[in-house]
Amino acid sequence: MVNPSTNNEIGITRQSLNVEAATQGNLNSILKMTAVASIAAGIQFGWALQLSLLTPYIQLLGVPHKWAANIWLCGPISGMIVQPLVGYYSDRSTSRFGRRRPFIFFGAIAVAIAIFLIGYAADLGHSLGDDLTKKTRPRAVVIFVLGFWILDVANNMLQGPCRAFIGDLAAGDHRRMRTGNGLFSFFMAVGNILGYAAGSYNKLHEKFPFTQTKACDEFCANLKTCFFFSIFLLVVLSTFALLYVEDIPNTSSKPQSESEPQ
């Protein structure tokens, strides 16, 4: 005959193990969501630099203020077009690397290319024939605008999959989803603070004297240096998240919510 106290002990032990496993699962999920959400700090660092430094920079290249405002149309236009498209195709992606990671990877590379074009627009324009004695440097302006639009498209290409990745990690748990959204907002704030702080400090270029050239004055060199930090931060955070967090591939061309349960 089985002792009732033994059954109770077994039940308590199983319950304790279940609670421990659930706690460990929640902690693991939160750590992964934190890694993905931290990418927002790198994205917002670049956004803050855009807002604080790029309008004066484009005017330095000779673009009138009224035309500079038109360049900023890229932000809302790319957000309106790029994010829905990226979301649609990432939901249906059957890549062996997962649904979100390829978009985050290529988005980070595109950001790095765009920031290089923006930072070196004056130097590249001068090497292509811009006359530094003239107010307007047309070649530098073209390079800058190209980099600016690529940057906005790439930022939107990053942001959507990062949010969707957090949703995937939450796995339908509303509490985890709220935690993930809170983490994403927190890192956005961190990125904004760091970006505006870097943009307001005009001595950063002194640490990297090679950034100041004949075509690139102190303001331009400082902008270039700030964007170097932006690339570094985004690449480090994105690389860590992509290596640490597994993105389970989708075996169907339909979103997982539309696919049959596995």
For CA atoms 213, 219, 222, 223, the dihedral sign is negative
Establish if 26 belongs to a structural domain. Answer: no
Q: Is residue 85 part of a domain?
A: yes
Q: Quick one: pLDDT band at residue 25, thresholds 50, 70, 90?
A: low
Does the residue 19 lie in any domain? no
Q: Look up the pTM and report it.
A: 0.81
Range of 139's domain? 32-91+98-244
Evaluate whether residue 200 is within a structural domain: yes
CATH number for the domain harbouring residue 59: 1.20.1250.20
- Domains in the chain, number: 1
Q: Please determine, for residue 261, whether its predicted confidence score (pLDDT) is greater than 80.
A: no
pLDDT in tens, 54-92: 888 888 888 877 777 788 787 788 878 888 898 888 888
Q: Look at residue 180 and tell me if it is in a domain.
A: yes
